Structure 1
Amino acid sequence: MLNRCFSILFLTVAIIPASQKLSAQVLSLNDAVETALSNYASIKAKNNYLSASKATVQQSKKEYLPNFNLSAQQDFGTINGQNGPLYGLGLSVASSGLPLPKQNWNSAFGALYLTNVNWDFFAFGRARERIQVSESIVTRDQSDLEQEQFQHSVRVAGAYLNLLVAQRLTKSWENNLERASALKSVVVTRAKNGLIPGVDSSLANAEVSNAKISITQARDFEQEQANNLARLMGTTNQQFVLDTLFITRIPGSLSDTVSKTEGHPLLKYYSNRIAVSDRQAKYYHTLGMPTFSLFGVFQGRGAGFSSTYATDQHAYTQSYFEGIKPVRANYLLGIGATWNMTSILRTKQQVAAQTFVSNALKEEFNLVDQQIRNQLLLSENKIRNAVSNFQEAPVQVKSASDAYLQKSVLYKNGLSNIVDVTQALYILVRAETNRDVALSNLWQALLLKAAATGDFNLFLNQ
């Protein structure tokens, strides 16, 4: 994740044809970043994760509400009773009747209506800790979204700069093709007139072909880089006309920028991961504590068996409505406590395991922090080197231009050979390429520093 954030590639790709520039709308860097943050699938996914975490907080808060149960049942069956011990293991009936001397199959309707309220009002902060765990997860997911937005903004800016400088470099290659074509015209004319050897014409043709191949290769790289920018923006349009601001002036400030990493979005995310783990350890600790509950029950019951059924086994009715009509009611209020003593042993290990997780997350935080600090030092070195190269680039272009002009004039007057001219042409192309890259590298280095400090505005505000 961190390596993807800091990987700023210095590629050379092709420029969009001039006819497309006239009809296409200029895409600014801000627009590219905003489009990417709106369209990119991973950011949308993290937004949904954050929404899910917020919903979980509300669910955790409602977990503290008392349980309120309503129950109603209507039955038909016998009420034969039997003395004997039983355990409420389940899968048994609750027929209430006195033990009779022998089995009978007298049946009637019965009904039970029940209202139950149960509230675990105190469990040594278990509900509070559960809510705080959920809230810490929201904070973590929020910081995860922010760091993903930050890293993606850096990736989009890097791709934008790469495509921009590639378009500039392609212009240099087009200029090279124009110079090679002009030289070819001179060489072919002189060769036809017998003023120079015919091999010079072959060399000039080879140089023109080489220039055309170089442009084709550059356009192939441009398509790759445009595809990369389109992918990061979440669009399928790969025809971009970019803002040339970054190749017309240097950044406003390179030496007065802030060199701190404390507020880095990635460090916040890793810090919040630790906070979630620590909060979970506190929650696990409460699972081993007792739970105090308030409960209340109100019950209504009906039966088709008469109160004299114990002495008169004919005192019952099979009328449905008489059987389901409630004729007796009971209520119960109480307070209780439950404590599974062996849960202490289990929760102790849960807390210990979560503590180790927290320690592991802390080590990951330290690793990322170290990488970011080293990246900041690297970015400052790159800025110094980029400034030095930018200052030298005009000197190189001026000297190469003078040398090419001199060699071309000498050649036209028969005082030089085609090899010297093509060598001077190659040096001029290299100088123009270095000039175009030098200014872009200043912005690339500043972007690298913005990625290291965690402040994307450090780059945008320039």
Structure 2
Amino acid sequence: MKFKFMASFALCYFAWTSSSAQVLKLEDALQRAVAHYDKIKAKEAMVAAAAENTNFQKQQYLPDLTLGAQQSFGTVNMLHGPQYGFGGLGVASSSMPLAEQNWNAAFGSLYFANVNWNLFTFGRLKNEVQLAQQGEKTVKADLAQAIFQHQVKVVAAYLNLLASQQVKLVQTKNKERAHVFLSMTEARAQSGLIPEVDAQLAKAELAHARSMEIKANDKELEFAKQLSVLLDDDFKTYTLDSLYHTQVPAELAHPTMLAAEHPFLLYQQQKVDESTQKEALLKSGKMPSISAFGVVQGRGSGFASNYAQDRGAYTTNYLKGVGLDRSNYLLGFSLSWNISNLFRYETLARSQQFRSKALQADYQSYQKELSTQLHLADAQLKNAYKSLQESKVQVDAATVAFKQHSTLYTQGLTNLVDFTQSLYSLNRAEIEQTIAQNNVWQALLLQAAAHGDINHFVHLN
């Protein structure tokens, strides 16, 4: 029983350590972010809704077919005189005018099929379909640029978390050096080789190193939280790909995507095209409509044909009243043209033209801004490479200086201040190299974001 428990515990521990040590690749992070982020899911739903709207607009080419059946019970008293059934509320009581009121009532029925088909709308239906299609393209472009922006945020959070983890490692190394320094100082102070105050200063330096390690850990937790939110994941600490802190691309490789193909500019261009299509739709609203129509109608009544002469010529039998006694059909064409629409839609079309100009001006503004951002990214990338080279020189020099001061202090040939300064210089140099290494990738990300091609960054390795 004890052996089974030990085996189960070992298996669970192995599974836990394996899952916790799993490296989160940048490609996997991007795929998870796109697949699980709620805002992207919402925009995907909007794309599906736009596609259904396009199908609906295409179905407007079909004729309207209306089927109806009515069965009623009532009187048929009539008078000569004009009437208007406002809003369809008039009563259709058919009979010859009678000399006096009576309350004879019978069943009646009405069955009909009505077809109305817009044969020619002079481009209105076509423009409505094209507008729906353009709207679908717009939401698709919106989805693409939203995915791109989210991927840029994920990469930035990934690099920030990686930088914070490396800074924490540097602070841990510095803490270990401070601990060794304290042990050495305490031993020499106890033997009377150095003053006791040196040991107290070494304790303060170790406490400072521990404090810096704690602050670095806080930063790591903060960036881990940001990445978890972007991945729609539970809060956790991640093991990231070491490539982005051990290597940098040897050459400056520029993305091949054209500036006009930037996802954000494509989205703005689709908004311009959609507005232009609305202009065409509004202009077609000034045109008339030619329709074909057809009606087939059947009626039944419980009143006989001689009811006007014989008030008893009716029956209250339901089956005789709802039968089919008379039938009619009607075929024809209609031309309808609201002349007032010539003025109304002309005003709306001009209004939409101004909206299109505004969107076009926004597009040009965004295009110039991205062009400026691209030049900035190129300059920052060059500076990042230069800064990285300088940081390597700084680390090499600080390492040599620390080793020399450590040896000299051990032999009593230098003071505590010089040794502490060399310790601080080495720590600062290591942190600056870590940040400079990360800044190269951040600059490459900025360049890829300005070009609109995140794949360029992902495949740099």
The residue that corresponds to 1:293 in the other structure is 291
CA distance in 1, matches of 2:251, 2:117: 63
Helix, strand or coil at the partner of 2:261: coil
Matched residue SS, 2:66: strand
Aligned AA (2:37) = Y
Structure 2: distance between partners of 1:333 and 1:205: 104
SS in 1 for 2:259: coil
1:29 paired residue number:
26
Q: For residue 294 of structure 1, report the CA deviation from its aligned partner.
A: 0.4
- In the other structure, the counterpart of 1:312 is 310
The counterpart of 2:67, out of the listed 66, 70, 73, is 70
Aligned partners of 1:258, 1:34: CA distance in 2, in Å?
22
Greater mean deviation of Cα atoms: 52-61 or 161-170: 161-170
Name the counterpart of 1:339: 337
Q: CA deviation at 1:287?
A: 2.0
CA distance in 2, matches of 1:33, 1:23: 19
Relative to structure 2, which stretch is displaced further, 133-142 or 400-409? 400-409
Q: Deviations over 1:241-295 (max 9, x none)?
A: 1110111211254145447411100000010011111111211222222111100
State, as a whole percentage, how many aligned pairs show the same letter.
42
* Aligned residues of 1:113 and 1:301 also touching (Cα < 8 A): yes
CA distance in 1, matches of 2:17, 2:424: 29
Secondary structure at the aligned position of 1:363 is classed as helix
| Secondary structure at the counterpart of residue 260 of structure 2 | coil
Runs (4+) of structure 1 moved beyond 4 Å? Answer: 19-23
Aligned partners of 1:114 and 1:256: how far apart in 2? 70
Q: SS where residue 409 of structure 2 aligns?
A: helix
Aligned residue for 2:3? none
- The answer to whether the aligner puts 1:131 opposite 2:140 as a matched pair is no
Other-structure match for 1:46? 43
Paired with 2:448 and 2:367, the residues of 1 have a C-alpha distance of: 15
Does the CA contact (< 8 Å) of 1:259 and 1:376 recur in 2?
no
8 Å Cα contact 1:21/1:241 also seen in 2: no
Q: Could you say which residue in structure 1 is the equivalent of 2:264?
A: 266
Could you tell me which residue of structure 2 aligns to residue 7 of structure 1?
none
Q: Quick one: structure 1 residues 453 and 301, their matched pair in 2 at CA, closer, same or farther if it must change by over 3 Å?
A: same
Offset of 1:21 from its aligned partner? Answer: 8.1
Residues of 1 paired with 2:317 and 2:332: CA distance? 36
Offset from partner CA, 1:111-147 (integer Å, 9 cap, x none): 1111100111111111111111110011011111111
Inter-CA distance 440–112: structure 2 relative to 1 (3 Å threshold): same
Question: In structure 2, the residue corresponding to 1:93 is in which secondary structure?
Answer: coil
- Deviates further, 92-101 or 282-291: 282-291
1:58 matched to 2:55? The reply is: yes
TM-score normalised by structure 1 residue count: 0.93
Unaligned runs of 5+ in 1: 1-18
- Deviation string, structure 1 residues 317-369 (Cα, Å, up to 9, x no partner): 22211111111110000000112222222222221222222122112212221
Other-structure match for 1:401: 399
- Cα deviation for residue 312 of structure 1 reads 2.0
Q: Which moved more, 1:380-389 or 1:82-91?
A: 82-91
Q: CA deviation at 1:184?
A: 1.0
1:326 alignment partner in structure 2: 324
Paired with 1:21 and 1:184, the residues of 2 have a C-alpha distance of: 36
Paired residue total = 444
Q: 1:21 to 1:368 in 2, by over 3 A?
A: farther
Q: Which runs of 5+ in 2 are unaligned?
A: 1-15
Residue 81 (structure 1) aligned to one of 78, 99, 113:
78
- Structure 1 residues 186-265: aligned runs within 5 Å: 186-258=184-256, 260-265=258-263
Counterpart of 1:143, as a letter, is: A
Letter in 1 for 2:220: E
Cα offset, 1:374, TM superposition: 1.2
Cα distance between partner residues in 2 of 1:208 and 1:311:
120
Q: 2: distance between equivalents of 1:262 and 1:269?
A: 11
Task: Give the Cα–Cα distance (whole angstroms) in 2 for the partners of residues 151 and 441 of structure 1.
Answer: 20
Q: Deviations over 1:173-201 (max 9, x none)?
A: 11111111111111111111222122111
| C-alpha distance 388-252 of structure 1, shift in aligned 2 (>3 A) | closer
| CA distance in 1: counterparts of 2:134 and 2:204, whole angstroms | 67
- How far, CA to CA, are the matches of 1:300 and 1:42 in structure 2? 56
> Structure 1 residue 234: deviation in Å?
0.7
Residues 299 and 22 (structure 1 numbering): CA distance in 2 closer, same or farther, change over 3 Å?
closer
Q: CA deviation at 1:28?
A: 0.4
